Amino acid sequence: MAESNPEINWDLEAYNLPEVQQNDLNQLLRLCEKHLKSYDKQLISKAFKLTYQSHKEGVRASGEPYYLHPLAVAAIIVEEIGLDDVSVAAALLHDTVEDTSVTLEDIQKHFGEVVVKLIDGLTKISGFFQSKGAKQAETFMKLLVYMADDLRVVLIKFADRLHNMRTLHHLPKPKQLRIANETSELYAPFAHRFGLYNIKSELEDLCLKASDEQAYKYIARRLKEKKDMRESFIREFMEPIREQLERSGFNFEIKGRPKHIFSIHKKMVRQQKPFEEIYDLFAIRIILDRPHAKEDCWRVYSFITDEYTPIPERFRDFISVPKANGYQSLHTTVITKRGRKVEVQIRTRQMDEIAEQGLAAHWKYKQGSEGGEGLDKFVNWVREVLENPGAESAQEFVKDFQLNLYSREIYVFTPNGELRTLPQGATPIDFAFDIHSQIGERAISAKVNGRLVPLRHKLSSGDQVEIVTGKVPNMNPDWIDYVVTHKARARLRQFLKHEQRKISDLGREAWEKKADRNKFELSDQDLARIARKLGFSSIQAMFFAIGNESYEINRLVKAVRSFLSKGRFEADDQEVNLHQARKLDSSEVIEDMQTANAHTLTLDGNLGNIKYSFAGCCKPIPGDDVMGYVSKEGLLKIHRSNCRNLMHLMKTSENAVQEVQWTKNTGGKFIGGIKVIGEDRQGLVNDLSDLLSNKLKTNMKGIHVESDDGTFEGTIVVHVEDLDHLRSVIANIRKVSGVKSAYRLE
C-alpha cells in the first residue's frame, strides 16, 4: 500500500530530526526513564518524528510551533498521569489523523493495533464536548463506550484539555470564556468522577483564572505570602506526631498542601467572607509506606487524637467505605492547644497514588498483580449508564449524568447489610431503582431504620433501607421531582412519556370524531397553525390538553370553523415575519460589530448606532473584566466576565458575545456593594456614614444593617467611579473602629 502523504519521510527510524527537535525528544525520553517502569524508546521516537513532520508547518495561537502541543500532552501523560509508552505514543499522535493528511491506515502500519485503536477513539470522541443538541447524545454514548473499553482514550483527552487550558490566555477573551465554561461543566466533573484530583483541581483553577483573573491572582498572592507561616505551623503541629511515628518504626511522608484556589474562592463567595476569615486553607497529609497495612492508618489516627482534640462530626472513614471513584483515606479535624482547627488525612502510599491519579492509578495496578477493584467498579458504573440511557433528550441525559458526576455520596444499606452508594439527596425511590428497575416500578412504601417514611424522604449515610413492593407497577408521575440518580430519572421519563402519549391519543381520537361529524377538511399544517394561535407549542400538546380535559374540544371546533370560513390567520404570518425581522436585526448588529471592531469595542458612550447598558445581575464597574452580549433586539448588555448569566447566554449563542474594554476615563457613576462585619457598638453606622459622605466624598445609595449577639453585619451600596475607587472605599472602611472585615459584595 502506498503511503498517503508523500511529504513525510516514512522511514521513521532512519529519519534525522533537526537539533532543536532532537533535544525535545531527548527530554521526553528522560521523563519516561524517570517515571515509567519500562518503555519502548523506538516506539516513542517514531511517534515524535511523525508528529513533528505532520505538524511542521502548523502554528498555535501563541505563535509556537504546533508540534509542541502534542509533545506537552505526552509529557503530562508520563509525568502527571503516569500511563504507559503506548499512551505516550498515542498522545504524540493524537491530532495527526484529525488535523493532517496522516490516516488511520498509516498509524496502523507503523505503530500497530493498540495505538491505532487509541487514536481512533480520540478522533471519534473529539466532538463530544463541543457538540450541541441531538448529536450530543450520540457523541456522549461514544465517549462512554470508549471509556468502558479502554480508559486510556479519555485520560489522553484530559491531558490534551489540561495543556489547552494552560495556554488559554493566548486566545480571544470570548473563546477563553467558552472553553473555560465547557471545562468547568464537563471536564472538571469527569475528572472528579475519575478521582483525578490534581487534574480536576488545576482545571478548576484555570477556569477561575479565565473567568475572574483578578480573584485568581489575589488568592494566589495571599497563599504565597502565607507560605512560610504555613510551613512553620505544620512543622510545629507535626513535631510530637513525627516523634511518635519514628519511635513506632514507621516509614512515612508528611505533606502540607494548600487547598486549591478555586475551592478557596468558592468558599469565600458561598460564605460571603474575605480571605482572612477562611481558616482551613490547607490540609496535612500523612502517607505511610506500607502498601496493605490499613490498620496502621488507625494507629496513626490514635497518635493524633492522643495529642490533639478531635472534632467528632468532622471524622470521615473512607478506608472502610471508599468513595465511588476508589478514594481511600482517614480524615479527621482536630483543635490545637491554641484553638486552631487543622484537617489531617492519613493514608498508605497506594491510597495516595489513587487519590492523586484516580483511575489512572487503578489502571496501572490492574496491569500488575495488585488488583484493580476500583477500575472494575468504575467500568461497571459506565456500563450501567449505557444500559439505562432512557428515551429522553440529549440535554436531559447529559444534565442527569453531570449531576451524578459531581454530587457528594451517601452510603446506605439493604436489609441484608449490603452497602449501596448513592448521590447526596437520594430518596428511597432512587434506592429502589438502584437495586433493580422492577423494585423501583413496584415500590409502594419504604422503611428507613425500621420506621415507615414517605418515598420522597431524603436518605442519610448509614441508613438501612427496605422497600415494600406490590405485585404490579405503581409508578407515580410526581416521583420525577424526588429523584436524583440517572437510572431513576431515565425510567420515570420513559413512564411519563408513555402516559402522555396515551393521553394525547385520547385527545386525538376525540378530535377525529368531531372532525368527521362536522366534515372538516384541513391539513396537518393548518391544524398546527391553529394550535399555535390557541397558545399550544404543537399539535401533540393540544391533543394532550384535550385528552386530560384541561381544554374544551368545542373551543377547537369553533376555531377550526372560523379558520375555514373567514381565513382569520393572515395576521399570524405577519407576526412570524416581524419575528424573523427582529432576529435579522440582531445578527446584522453582531456582523457590523465584528466587522467594524475586529478585536474590541471601547465603552466610551460612542458606539455609533449600537445601544448598550450594564447588566443588573453582576453590576460591572470600570476596571472589572467585562464582555458584551448582543440581545435579539440588538442591545449590547455589558456583563462581568465571571457572570453566571453570561456563561448561560454563551451556550445558546456564542457568536453574540463580543469582547469589550473600558476607556481610561469613563466619567460615570456606577453601583458597588460592600459587605461589612464588625462589633455591634453604638455609633458605628454614624461613623460609616460620616466616613463615606464627609471624608471620602462618596455618595451612599443605601445601607442595610442587622445585629445579633454583639455582631454587626451590614450591606452598603455606594456610587463609585471605578474599581480602584471601590477598593479605596473598602480599605478605608476596614480602618473604622469595630470593623472586622469589609469586602465587595458578589
Q: Is 632 helix (H, G, I), strand (E, B) or coil?
A: coil
- Give 626's pLDDT tier (boundaries 50, 70, 90): confident
CB 151 within 8 A of CB 119: no
Q: Which three cell numbers stand for residue 138?
A: 450520540
Query: By mean pLDDT, which of 56-60, 450-454, 587-591, 710-714 is the weakest?
Result: 587-591
The Cα-based distances of 384 to 138, 190, 191, 486, 569 in angstroms read 17, 16, 19, 10, 51
Judgement on whether residues 33 and 79 belong to the same structural domain of the protein: yes
Same domain, 186 and 69: yes
Single-letter residue type at 397: F
Residue 557 within a domain: yes
Looking at the predicted structure, is the pLDDT value of residue 215 above 80?
yes
Strands (E), 227-281: 252-258
CATH assignment of the domain containing 122: 1.10.3210.10
Q: Percent helix, strand and coil across the chain, each rounded to 5?
A: 55, 15, 30
Pull the grid cell for residue 674.
460592600
Contacts of 84 (CB under 8 A, 6+ apart): 36, 39, 152, 367
Residue 304 sits in a domain of what CATH number? Answer: 3.30.460.10
Give residue 593's pLDDT band: very low, low, confident or very high (50, 70, 90): very low
Which range of residues forms the domain containing residue 579? 573-662
Judgement on whether residues 33 and 160 belong to the same structural domain of the protein: yes
Task: Please indicate, yes or no, if residue 486 is contained in any of the structural domains.
Answer: no
Tally of domains within the chain: 5
pLDDT digits (tens, 9 = 90+) for 301-340: 999 999 999 988 889 888 888 876 678 899 999 998 888 8
Residue-level pLDDT at 72: 96
Average pLDDT of every residue of the chain: 80
Q: Write the CATH number for 717.
A: 3.30.70.260
Same domain, 239 and 320: yes
Give tens-digit pLDDT for 218-254. Answer: 999 988 888 888 888 888 999 999 999 999 989 999 8
- Residues 705, 637 share a domain: no
Whether the per-residue pLDDT at 641 is higher than 80: the answer is yes
Question: Does the residue 738 lie in any domain?
Answer: yes
Of the pLDDT bands very low, low, confident and very high (cuts 50, 70, 90), residue 146 is low
In a domain, 211, yes or no: no
Instruction: Answer whether residue 14 is part of any domain.
Output: no
Quick one: 111 and 255 in the same domain? no
Residue where one domain finishes, among candidates 334, 357, 380: 357
Q: Let me know if residue 282 belongs to a domain.
A: yes
Helix (H) or strand (E) holding 687: helix 684-690
User: Is 52 within the bounds of a domain?
Assistant: yes
Are 641 and 678 within one domain?
A: no
Same domain, 34 and 181: yes
Last residue of a domain, one of 509, 539, 568: 568
Q: What is the DSSP letter of 276?
A: G
Q: How many CB atoms lie within 10 A of CB 624?
A: 21
Report the percent of the chain where pLDDT is more than 90. 22
Specify whether 183 is located in the same domain as 238.
no
pLDDT of residue 78: 93
562 with 675, same domain: the answer is no
pLDDT at 395 over 60: no
Q: Look at residue 258 and tell me whether its pLDDT is greater than 50.
A: yes
Over residues 10-34, the mean pLDDT reads: 92
H-type helices in 519-615, by residue range? 524-533, 539-547, 553-566, 570-596
- Summarised one tens digit per residue, pLDDT across range 404-418 is 555 577 788 888 878
Least confident segment among 5-14, 123-132, 510-519, 619-628: 123-132
Q: Does the pLDDT at position 265 exceed 60?
A: yes
Chain centre distance of CA 674? 29
Indicate whether 655 pLDDT > 70: no
Query: Where in the sequence numbering do the catalytic residues fall?
Result: 98-99
Tell whether 184 and 62 lie within a shared domain.
yes
Residue that finishes a domain, picked among 327, 357, 387: 357
What is the pLDDT averaged over residues 246-266? 88
If asked whether residues 239 and 123 sit together in one domain, one would say: no
Q: 39-43, 370-374, 585-589, 619-623: which range is least confident on average?
A: 585-589
List the grid coordinates of 595.
466587522
Residue 59 lies in a domain: yes
Give pLDDT, residue 589: 42
pLDDT of residue 592 exceeding 80, the answer is no
